Amino acid sequence: MNAVGRQWVFGKIGEWLQGTDKSGDPIVYPLTTTSSPFRTITWIEPAANLSIVVRSQQSPGSKRKTELAVNEMAIACGFATECGYRITIWNSPPRAKGLGSSSVDIASALLSIKHCRNLDLSDAALFQVMCRVERSDFLFRPELIVATNPVTGSFSIAGNVPPCIVLAVDTAPLERVDTEAVRHLDLARRRFGQEYEELCSLIQTGDLEAMFYASTRSAEINDQLLPKPGFSRARKLANDFQTLGLVAAHTGTYLGLLFPSPVDTELLKHVRSKVIEEFSVEPLLFRVGASPSAISRGKTNLPQKVWENPIQRNETRF
């Protein structure tokens, strides 16, 4: 095993919006994170044949999808007969929760090989590979708001993610949502097509109040289609504490309360205690968006952190 591993992507916490576009095709704005309790670290080393090892009890099901994506990449880039790698992925987010676990694993593997082979592949090419395997999340530019069609593998940049703190709760810890099993929701969402068009326009304005209204309203619409236990309680907490808004894992079990960054620590502790009281679950803390200073300096590319210890502590401090 190589002595070092890398954190290539940070994952997501639900979506700004998930709906349909003017043509009735699915449109997804993943809420990508820049800091997460799930630090997914990836190692790559030469091997006789391709093998994917997912060292996570929470996300074992992504192994086959990751193998398929790597093989797709190898065929497209002309190294199908030289695809001998052992790729080990540690500490993926839990699957079927709306945290992008399989996309995290696939993107991590593809980026590892891209770096190892020094391939000239764009984010667009990588996303196309991912979407040929499954409906994937675009995780390559976490500082940006990206509108995606996960069926065709296309995307467009909608703007910068404002710096925020997300206090997220698993509303159904014992349940899983199979994204492939709820594809019928694409059709159900079409009746809200005009409103989704308006909400997409609000996200693209860059106006914070408009953007967070859009994310909250998308979560409300989604609760009519795929209800989450305790949605009304989460909505009330968002109002009581005058948060920026609400974000939902539209095909998952998580809901998140959005706060500006930085946020008062005492307020966050108080909200945390209320979340535990309401849901009997410990919430998780995520950070999203690049700081204004980083954007002004142009330092908004995905950081590639190097880790020497494969066992990463999975905890959130308040």
Asked if residue 23 belongs to a domain, the reply is no
At 104 the three-state DSSP class reads helix
Q: Which of 74, 105, 103, 99 is nearest to 87 (CA)?
A: 105
What average pLDDT does the structure give for the chain?
A: 89
Average of pLDDT values for 279-306? Answer: 66
The pLDDT of residue 58: 60
pLDDT at 1: 43
- 94-138 pLDDT per residue, tens: 999 999 999 999 999 999 999 999 999 999 999 999 999 999 999
Nearest residue to 60 via CA among 105, 107, 12: 105
The pLDDT of residue 5 is above 90: no
154 and 94 together in one domain: no
Give pLDDT tens digits for 61-79: 688 999 999 999 999 999 9
What is the value of pTM for the model shown? 0.89
Domain, as residue range, for 131 = 5-14+37-141
Specify whether 289 is located in the same domain as 150: yes
The angle, 0 to 180 degrees and rounded to 10, between the axes of the packed helices 208-225 and 231-240 is 160
Do 132 and 260 share a domain, yes or no?
Answer: no
Strand partners, 51: 86
The answer to whether residues 172 and 113 belong to one domain is no
Q: Which amino acid, 311?
A: I
**Residue 149 to residues 19, 128, 146, 153, 198, Cα–Cα distance (Å):** 10, 10, 10, 6, 17
pLDDT at 305 over 50: no
pLDDT at res. 60? 58
Q: Based on the domain organization, do 200 and 223 belong to the same domain?
A: yes
Q: Are 156 and 145 in contact (CB under 8 A)?
A: no
Which of 45-59, 102-116, 219-233 is the least confident region? 45-59
Q: What is the mean pLDDT of residues 302-312?
A: 36
DSSP per residue, 2-15: -S-EEE----EEEE
Residue 59 has pLDDT above 80, yes or no: no
- Read off the pLDDT band of 183 (50, 70, 90): confident
